[in-house]
Amino acid sequence: MADIRPFCMPKWGIEMTEGTVAEWMVAEGEAFHKGQTICLIETAKITNDVDAEFDAVLARILVPAGSDPAPVGALIGVFAEPGTDSAAIDAFIANFKPADTAVAAKGAGEKAKPATPAPAPAAATPRKIITNRPISPEALKLAEQADVDLAGIEGSGRGGRITYQDVDQARRPAARGPLRGTVPVEPESAVFASPLARRIAALHGVDLAGLSGTGARGRISKADVLALVPAPAPAAGGAIAAPFVPVDNRPTVVPFDRIRKVVAQRLTEAKQQIPHVYLRVSARADELAAMRKTANLILGCKASINDYVIKAAAMALARHPDVNVQVHGQEIHRFPHADIAIAVASPKGLVTPIVRQADRMRIDQIAGATRALIDKAAAGRLGFEDMDGGTFSVSNLGMMEIEDFAAIINPPQGAILAVGGITRQPVETAEGGIAFESRIAMTLSVDHRAIDGAAGAAFLATLKSLIEAPEGLFA
């Protein structure tokens, strides 16, 4: 038996369910050496090289570059010894069964390891349910897993037997969409047309009387009516009294790409499921702006205002660990150090790479880290280790002239700070006059399940004092 090895779609993290082969660096039938890059694989957020762990031949490519995404664990290629005959490889492919991808599939060159694996929420042990009511096996399994009380369920099966659907319905929150009421039904006139055709005819003033349609038994359809709608005549030039004629306003359809799908799904879940509470504050930024010039000169770095805000937020978080949290199911995970995710608009979409332990970094180190992450994001080369985890997020739209906004929490993090731009504001001076100062507005969104308003306010007070007295940032 020749040594034939599967090459499966690797799993780079808990949330990765599928990947796309962006490029094969080795051609089918070509030999490669240990350490050589075999292919590039893209997930929703990252692109990674897959490097060979041994010498072999890429005997077969099953997922060509640019194909649709393949699920984690799916066979994407086959490695073999040189000279392995093709029939043996065909047989290997035919008999291949993907491993259970619930455990992380071993990629050919799995080098992207999450830097700080987020602890998975401990699954509650299923409660054993003893019942003498008739219930299907799957329904009982679900009831035990989801801890559903059977007492409140009326079985819809024969003789009151409980089905999976009954249990599934019982565990869902009550729902009732908005009602739209009834609409009057028009009497059938002499015209035989579909309701939609009637509606379109009324809209365009088409008379359907005497018309014979192309539908079944001469029924007038939507297409028949649209065929009679005159194309809008070109507007008569210069006639002031010419009526306004609307032009065709057809949209360009842009389907969601993968990254937008992921972002859309996660943000929707976050906004729907997390009880957000918003705390707004503004801080005087004149001292910070002045300090930044001096400090950047001394440290020889180009730290932005945002870098200073990250530093301030990280220090405040270290002093308020009850805000430096992740929320996992029924648990709050408090972290001693602040891993701050920064929202970056990249060509591929919104990404949130992480500055790790920002509270322990000097401002020049933070500036270096954010610069590296932003460059990587722009090149679409952010790796899983750049994005995994995070205890807090900072989203800054100041450079876009936004004064103040509120951001959506990035689960499992407990809070996000939305930072606006620096604006000149009139303030009352001690003498009762008016002076202008630079102010920066910030809104903290917190997950109210885990963080109380008072805790968020205490954190903001510290943050505000650090920005207004920035020498504290170098303590």
Which of 5, 111, 161, 337 forms a contact with another protein (CB under 8 A)? 161
* Sheet architecture: strand order including 4-8: 4-8, 75-80, 56-61, 31-32
**Left, alpha or beta for 330 (phi > 0: left; psi -120 to 50: alpha)?**
alpha
Cα separation, 403 vs 389, in Å, equals 29
Least distance between another protein and beta carbon 157 (Å): 6
Contact between 158 and another protein per CB under 8 A: yes
Q: Are strands 392-396 and 340-342 parallel, antiparallel or unpaired?
A: parallel
Residue nearer to another protein on the CB measure, 158 or 250: 158
Give min distance, CB of 98 to another protein, in A.
10
Does position 156 interact with another protein (CB under 8 A)? The reply is yes
Q: Residue 311: what are its φ and ψ, rounded to 5°?
A: -60, -45
**CB of 169 vs another protein, minimal distance in Å:** 7
CA 318, CA 335: separation in Å to the nearest integer? 8
Q: How many residues bind another protein (CB under 8 A)?
A: 14
Residue 128 in contact with another protein, rule: CB under 8 A:
no
Is residue 145 part of the contact set for another protein (CB under 8 A)? no
The answer to whether 18 contacts another protein (rule: CB under 8 A) is: no
What pairs with residue 132 in β-bridges?
none
d(CA 285, CA 148): 54
Q: Does 258 bind another protein (CB under 8 A)?
A: no
According to CB under 8 A, which residues from 190 to 229 bind another protein?
Answer: none
The yes or no reply on residue 136 touching another protein (CB under 8 A) is: yes
448 given a catalytic annotation: yes
Nearer to another protein, 17 or 37 (CB): 17
Which residues, including other chains, have CB under 8 Å from residue 112's CB and lie 6 or more apart? 12, 46, 48, 383, 384, 385
Name residue 442's beta-bridge partners. Answer: 281, 419
* Residue 139 sits in the site that holds another protein (CB under 8 A): yes
Beta strands in 272-414 (DSSP E): 276-284, 325-328, 331-334, 340-342, 344-346, 349-351, 354-355, 392-396
Identify which range of 53-61, 154-162, 217-225, 325-333 contacts another protein by CB under 8 A: 154-162
| Residue span binding another protein (CB under 8 A) among the ranges 22-30, 100-108, 157-165, 187-195 | 157-165
CB of 165 to another protein, least distance (A): 4
CA-CA distance, 317 to 392, in Å (whole number)? 9
Q: Which of 163, 410, 413, 443 binds another protein (CB under 8 A)?
A: 163
When asked if residue 137 is in the footprint of another protein (CB under 8 A), the reply is: yes
Instruction: Write the single-letter amino acid at 151.
Output: A
Structure tokens at 327: 């929320």
Residue 164 engages another protein in binding (rule: CB under 8 A): yes
Q: CB-wise, 164 or 192, nearer to another protein?
A: 164
Q: How far is the CB of 135 from another protein (least distance, A)?
A: 10
Here's the x/- map for another protein, 82-121, by CB under 8 A: it reads as ---------------x------------------------
Q: Judged by CB under 8 A, does residue 405 bind another protein? A: no
* 336, 321 Cβ separation under 8 angstroms: yes
Decide if 46 contacts 12 (C-beta within 8 A). Answer: yes
Binding site for another protein (CB under 8 A): 97, 136-139, 156-158, 161, 163-165, 168-169
Supply the residues annotated as catalytic: 448
